Structure 1
Amino acid sequence: MQMDIREATVGDAQNIATVHVASWQAAYQGIMPAGFLEDLSVAARTRNWQSALTAGKLRVLLASVDGVLAGWVAFGACRDADKDSRWSEVEALYVSPAYWRHGVGHALRVAACAQLQQAGYEHVVLWVLAANQRAIAFYERAGFVRDQASKDIVAGGVPLTEVRYCKALAASLNNSVSPLLEKDNEVIEQTDVLEARVRGGDDSASPATSRDKQER
């Protein structure tokens, strides 16, 4: 298996959107309504990603396995009001279900954290659904620790809670967990921050509500 990681371009928008939708539909079974997941639109997400990548406000790395896009990670400065300029954020990490448990999520996480540290950040945060135990296990094995922050969102009419995990970037790069022991999964539920990046706004209060209205 040959894995390559590179920066995303606008031409990658449709493939990114395809992984985006497939990972939601697989990972959120039993968490979000089945009808809501079935109605997620690759076309709508492709348009969003084209806009986001054109705007250039979001760093995105792609992982390809034998030439096929297997996953991606989006990251940048932390947008949380209680964090200063030393803090960064992994805003979204998604792996196609066909490549779970192949080390793709591990490779993307490590690559993103390396770039954030090189950019001068000292810490990294991420947000994850409290009900997504697979994703939480993935990050806890990598040394992320939950803090006291949480927020409520709505997805398909269902109220959900997101919780925040934090880690020092130096510790993140020194983590020695085997990638094959990490369960790859889509991990960050604030993925639709890309819409806010394009608008210049902040959808952190309810990203799922925004998607529900726009991406059917």
Structure 2
Amino acid sequence: MDVRIREMVLDDCDAVARVRVQGWRYAYAGLMPQSYLDTMSVEEDAARRREFLAKGHSRLTNVVAERDGEVVGWGCCGPSRDEDATADQCELYALYVLQEQVSTGVGRALMTELTGGAMAAGFGRMTLWVLEENARARRFYEKAGFAPDGAEEPFEVNGVVVPEVRYASALTR
């Protein structure tokens, strides 16, 4: 595979913001208010990422996928934010690839890196939240070994409730 996965660095913030914003616009079109997606700003997202990375959160993993020297994907995980989380549970916070990279192995490579890193850090279980109506993402996570665990949560975007479901997977080699 011609995809290289590596740790995200400060110089990647603009490219990661582009991946995230384009990823949201592609993945969530028709699932959340278009007005929200249209107002997302790559510049504002990049500024938030720079500020966040500069703080140095040691328990978070941020990785990028590069193809031909261009950042084409990004993923992030860390300790679970769920109230019912156990100490050995981490959470996949984000996994996005550029639209033209969907179904090319980039997402799978990012997921492999993130789950492997979580296992190496001592986590035994990973969870993630996905929009209930996001069939494409749900299929991807199911192929990666995740399954719904019964938890659901409302997610509000511009006054519209967009339900999310939690998926979980045991982290094993």
Question: Which structure shows the bigger proportion of residues in strand conformation?
Answer: 2
Structure 2 CA distance for aligned equivalents of residues 30 and 13 of structure 1: 27
Aligned residue for 2:154, secondary structure, equals: strand
Aligned residue for 1:138, secondary structure, equals: helix
Structure 2 CA distance for aligned equivalents of residues 125 and 50 of structure 1: 26
Structure 2 CA distance for aligned equivalents of residues 59 and 143 of structure 1: 20
The Cα offsets for residues 55-113 of structure 1, whole Å up to 9 and x where unpaired, read as 12232000001111110110111121212111111111001101111100000001000
Alignment root-mean-square deviation, CA: 1.1
Query: Following superposition, which runs of at least 4 residues in structure 1 exceed 6 angstroms of deviation?
Result: none
The residue aligned with 1:132 is 134
Structure 1 CA distance for aligned equivalents of residues 39 and 6 of structure 2: 30
Identity of aligned residues (%): 37
Structure 2 CA distance for aligned equivalents of residues 54 and 108 of structure 1: 22
Structure 2 CA distance for aligned equivalents of residues 43 and 137 of structure 1: 31
103, 112, 115: which one pairs with 2:117? 115
Structure 2, unmatched stretches of 5+, are none
Q: How many residues align?
A: 171
Normalising by structure 2, what TM-score? 0.95
The residue aligned with 1:43 is 43
Structure 2 CA distance for aligned equivalents of residues 159 and 30 of structure 1: 13
Aligned residue for 2:155, secondary structure, equals: strand
The residue aligned with 1:18 is 18
The Cα offsets for residues 33-64 of structure 1, whole Å up to 9 and x where unpaired, read as 22221111111101110011111223200000
Aligned-pair CA distance for 1:150: 1.2
The residue aligned with 1:62 is 64
The residue aligned with 1:156 is 158
